[in-house]
Amino acid sequence: MQKVYLDNAATTQVRKEVIERMQEALAQHYGNPSSTHSFGRSAKTAVEQARKTIAKTLNAQPSEIIFTSGGTEADNMILRCAVRDLGVETIITSKIEHHAVLHTVEELEREYNINVWYVDLDEFGNPSLEHLEKLLKKDDSKKLVSLMHVNNEIGNITDIAAVGELCKENNALFHSDTVQSIGHYPWDVQGINIDFMTAAAHKFHGPKGIGFAFIRKNSGLKPLIVGGAQERGFRAGTEPFHNIVGLEEAFVKAYEHLEEETQAVKELKKYFLEKVEQELPEAVCNGLSGDLEKSTYTLINIRLPFDKQKALMLLFHLDMKGIACSKGSACQSGSDQGSHVLNEILSGEELEKPSLRFSFSMYNTKEELDYTVEVLKEFASS
């Protein structure tokens, strides 16, 4: 049976070079980075070099990069500490954020009695900058805006430079979940007004269980996880050295080959869109995922013309044919509530039709896409 992996927004295949680097780290550099002997110093040097490498590419300072277990921890840490330590009284976000943000602000609303305001979305799922400005000017409370750069389900790209300027003009903090864009887009944190960002290595061909937070220097945040003095005292716990060097290797390779790999994946998305249009003309793209300029090149979210009963078997059928994709984010796969993102932008009638997210990487081929569309076409006519 042919195996086709089109769920790269959930996680990506680890690069061969990353695996080799991690194997070397596990076999040869097993000292605790906090130990003062040569084994520990060797590991500590590599950890700090990884921090410098990431900081240089983002045009940040090494002290502004904090290693975490991934995007969820980083989002939680930043939002919680902003309320606890910086006196944030109001968080402005949207209803289509990742649940690492949505559930965190809901908890903070209960625990600290803060205000949580949701910015209006247009029909495609884009946040309204006009409404955001109104919310920022609504009162004098200390505010933090949390809006993701690339939506993980429909691929919309938020103009975070414009959001950053609005935050600056209104003396608000700005946090962005950039998990779907770090490793896929160039960054210069000095060129935009942003206080906090998050990343996860497994979204750009690195290992799972490691990521980082960008926290602007002198932010005033204090540790959420306390214990040892790791991460300059900001995040206690023995550093997972093998994961950190794996993250560094994946990060370096992503930016070394960014232009060529972006073009290659963009061509795959364009090809898939054309094939779907030819073979399944009634299919519709959700959000702006079908727009090659206004959405990320890495994914497409398609609503298919199948009735409700047939839709129940669609993912199972694709899986049986060896095709991996998603009906929403992987974090939603165990939920029977459906996609909270699509629930916000589609009508009840539209939600009756099945929607699938196909996400691509440099490891995919046009032949795989041909096979996928053929399987969908056969299912449609069965």
Active site residues: 331
CA distance 81 to 112: 12
Q: What does the block give as tokens for 319?
A: 């899986």
Evaluate whether 245 touches 210 at the Cβ level (below 8 Å).
Answer: no
**Residue 365 to residues 268, 295, 318, 371, Cα–Cα distance (Å):** 7, 21, 17, 10
Residue 255 carries which DSSP code?
H
Task: Give the SS3 label for residue 23.
Answer: helix
Q: What is the dihedral of CA 70, 73, 76, 77, to 10 degrees?
A: -110
CB distance 106 to 116 below 8 Å = yes
Structure tokens at 348: 């009840």
105, 79 contact by CB (below 8 A)? yes
CB atoms within 10 A of CB 34: 14
Q: Do 63 and 90 meet the contact criterion of CB atoms below 8 Å apart?
A: no
Dig out the tokens for 99 from the structure.
Answer: 């649940």
Query: CA-to-CA distance for 212 and 79, rounded, in angstroms?
Result: 14
